[in-house]
Amino acid sequence: MRLVEGVATVDDVGDFVGRIGDIADESGTTVQVFDARYVVSRRHLERAVELADRAIVRGENVARDRAVEILCYAAGRRQIDRALTLGVDEGETPVVALVDAGGGGTEGNGDSNGDGEGDEAAAEAALADLLGERETLGTYDESLVSEYFGIGEMELRAADGDLEALVLERVALLDVEK
């Protein structure tokens, strides 16, 4: 898994998603772009990939597309429309783009041939060209994250203020909620 950080300037979400899809298809990888204000750490996205792949292997995925399944796990939501909040919207958005050549064990969900042999470096380069490169990972909005994941002040205090740990818990709990 590789991450590309930057700023997406989106005039038309459909066009932007199409360009991301083209990069994924051309490189034979899974590509998902996240609004960086909601991503608490690299581990947040690594865990989402792990759990999404496990769901795909088990046939428990809710999305047909691996990138969307990863998005659902990162969001801690089974409802795709609610998970899309972690994606991009029109305007200028700090983003973290995830590139992964793994396929979750099924063809058509990760790379062009399902064998984990996609070209992550090619996708990374294409995304770097598309996005205005800028460090964005780790600059999440604490209040936005807390509100989105339903983390209250009492819960945060009980976890010694470790917002990342609570978000990772929400990501993991998605499996329990099925």
Q: Range with the lowest mean pLDDT among 34-48, 95-109, 140-154?
A: 95-109
131-170 pLDDT, tens digit per residue, is 988 999 988 999 999 999 999 989 988 887 799 999 999 9
- C-alpha angle with apex 45: 41 to 51, nearest 5 degrees? 140
Q: How many angstroms separate the CA atoms of 44 and 41, rounded? A: 5
pLDDT surpassing 70 at residue 106: no
Give the confidence band of 173 by pLDDT, cuts at 50, 70, 90. Answer: confident
pLDDT at 177: 59
To the question of domain 2-176 being in CATH 3.30.2380.10, the answer is yes
60-79 pLDDT, tens digit per residue, is 999 999 999 999 999 999 99
Map out the domains of the chain as residue ranges: 2-176
Q: Which of 153, 148, 159, 169 is nearest to 44 (CA)?
A: 169
Q: Which of 15, 25, 8 is nearest to 97 (CA)?
A: 8
Report field, pTM of the whole predicted structure over 0.85: yes
Q: How many angstroms separate the CA atoms of 109 and 111, rounded? A: 6
Q: How many angstroms separate the CA atoms of 172 and 68, rounded? A: 17
Q: Quick check: 109 and 96 in contact, CB under 8 A?
A: no
From the centroid of its chain, how far is CA 154? 27
